Copies of this chain bind each other. A is one copy, B any other.
Amino acid sequence: MKFTINRASFTQQINHVQRAIPTKTTIDILYGIKLTANSEGLTLIGSDADISILSLIAADDSMADLVIEEEGEVVLPARLLNDIIKKLPADEVSVSVNERHVATIRSAKAEFQIAGKDGNQYPRLPEIDATTEIQLPTLAFKNLINQTIFAASNQESRPILTGLHLTLEEGYINAVATDSHRLSQRQIPLELSDQQKVFQALTIPKKTMNELSRIVPDEAQLTLTVSNQQIIFHFDAITIYSRLLEGNYPATDRLIPESSETDLVVNSLDFLQAIERASLMAHEGKNNIVQLDLQNNQAELSVTGNEIGNVAEMIDYESLTGPGLKISFNPDYMKEALRSFGDCSIRLQFNSPVRPMLLSRLEVSEVPHNELIQLLTPVRTH
């Protein structure tokens, strides 16, 4: 195996696939990046067995100055490869690999030799047998991820809750994440024909969604397909393969209240800042609870009962209707829910101190099925 390449292109490609490399694994070869040089070009793969990221520099990519002199494959240690390529002295890099899988990397007068592994020993990527792929609205789909994924669980005790649950509905995608204390639900419009419906419902691991959202440029053409228990995202020269989470996702529809007794409308940013102040004291206490007290046309946030001190703040609101109510909640969950709305007027809907609060944008979108809601379970204090 032997090729020369432009250093900046190579570094960029390494950075993409390195996102899949595990920090800890029992499968030693996964600490490496697999490089394959063939007539198509130079392919790099990084994987943690759950997610694999593949990046191809095509043979005819004019930016990359890629010249393949000898085809072949090898697995090289990811972190070391990245560090070396980043620090090489010249723009041109040459890589050649001998039959003992030792790679020689040259740039100007610097020459590195690093011990690699046989490319044949690297786990195979799943074959894609599906031919139908869905074109996603890239920016809207990235928003959908970022506005929901934080509510997915980090607890492996219920693995299905650690993912983002997607369903293809008539005219839209519905995404739900919940850790059973809070729930995020986002819909984005998407018209599909019957044969394009490559799945009905599936649950994708949190890490996959986070990595996807980080590496897809807003302007890229993003497609999705499902094949062999894998979900596959493709954009530019990059393909992300991910396993799906198995199991039944809980029915979350019935959790979302359809009416409310008390309604509070506030600016999301102003309210967020007040919650951030209150959380400073909540974090000093044992329970990490903030109380919201709505009555007599006043909305007061407070934290009391801590040894170190208390805080109280009257909240500016746009409207407050319905019976008075005192409700307590985890301020960190509230902060994440509020941030997902950006800067706008939001409605908080309450039914009782022990039933979930519903947060939604005050202004309803002109486009149907373009909705974001956040549900937060209160903390019972008696």
- In this assembly, does A256 line the interface, its C-beta being within 8 Å of a C-beta of chain B? no
Verify B83–A280 contact, CB threshold 8 A: yes
Given contacts A80-B284, A284-B80, contact A110 B310 (CB under 8 A): no
- In this assembly, does A237 line the interface, its C-beta being within 8 Å of a C-beta of chain B? no
**Partner pick for A311 among B113, B115, B277, B314, CB 8 A cutoff:** B113
Interchain CA distance A34-B315 in the complex, whole Å: 32
Verify B311–A281 contact, CB threshold 8 A: no
- In this assembly, does A89 line the interface, its C-beta being within 8 Å of a C-beta of chain B? yes
* In the complex, chain B residues whose CB is within 8 Å of the CB of A316: 109
What's the nearest-Cβ distance from chain B to residue A318, in Å?
A: 16
- In this assembly, does A363 line the interface, its C-beta being within 8 Å of a C-beta of chain B? no
Interchain CA distance A87-B111 in the complex, whole Å: 53
- In this assembly, does A112 line the interface, its C-beta being within 8 Å of a C-beta of chain B? yes
Given contacts A80-B308, A89-B273, A308-B77, contact A313 B111 (CB under 8 A): yes
**Partner pick for A110 among B84, B309, B311, CB 8 A cutoff:** B311
What's the nearest-Cβ distance from chain B to residue A316, in Å?
A: 8
What's the nearest-Cβ distance from chain B to residue A54, in Å?
A: 25
Verify A114–B309 contact, CB threshold 8 A: yes
Specify which of A88, A115, A316 lies most central, judged by the most chain B CB atoms within 10 Å of its CB.
A115
* In the complex, chain B residues whose CB is within 8 Å of the CB of A190: none
What's the nearest-Cβ distance from chain B to residue A263, in Å?
A: 21
Chain A, residues 308-344, CB within 8 Å of chain B (1/0): the string is 1111111110000000000000000000000000000
- In this assembly, does A211 line the interface, its C-beta being within 8 Å of a C-beta of chain B? no
Which bracket fits the contact residues of A?
20 to 34
Verify A87–B277 contact, CB threshold 8 A: yes
Mark out the residues of chain A between 109 and 125 whose CB falls within 8 Å of any chain B CB in the assembled complex: 109-115
Interchain CA distance A202-B89 in the complex, whole Å: 44
Verify B89–A310 contact, CB threshold 8 A: no
Given contacts A115-B308, A308-B77, contact A110 B277 (CB under 8 A): yes
Specify which of A77, A112, A274 lies most central, judged by the most chain B CB atoms within 10 Å of its CB.
A112
Chain A, residues 96-111, CB within 8 Å of chain B (1/0): the string is 0000001000000111
**Partner pick for A80 among B80, B89, B280, CB 8 A cutoff:** B280
- In this assembly, does A169 line the interface, its C-beta being within 8 Å of a C-beta of chain B? no
**Partner pick for A281 among B112, B274, B276, B307, CB 8 A cutoff:** B112
Interchain CA distance A268-B379 in the complex, whole Å: 61
Interchain CA distance A315-B313 in the complex, whole Å: 65
Given contacts A77-B308, A80-B308, A114-B308, contact A277 B313 (CB under 8 A): no
**Partner pick for A112 among B115, B273, B310, CB 8 A cutoff:** B310
* In the complex, chain B residues whose CB is within 8 Å of the CB of A80: 280, 284, 308-309
* In the complex, chain B residues whose CB is within 8 Å of the CB of A89: 273-274, 277
19 pairs across A/B with beta carbons < 8 Å?
A80-B280, A80-B308, A84-B277, A87-B273, A87-B277, A87-B280, A88-B277, A89-B273, A109-B315, A109-B316, A110-B312, A110-B313, A111-B311, A112-B277, A112-B309, A112-B310, A113-B309, A115-B308, A115-B309
Given contact pairs A87-B276, A88-B277, enumerate 16 new A-B contacts (beta carbons under 8 Å): A80-B284, A84-B277, A87-B277, A89-B274, A89-B277, A102-B309, A109-B313, A109-B314, A109-B316, A110-B312, A110-B313, A111-B313, A112-B277, A112-B311, A113-B311, A114-B308
Task: List the 7 shortest-distance A-B pairs measured between CB atoms, nearest first.
Answer: A114-B309, A110-B313, A109-B314, A113-B310, A113-B309, A112-B311, A87-B277
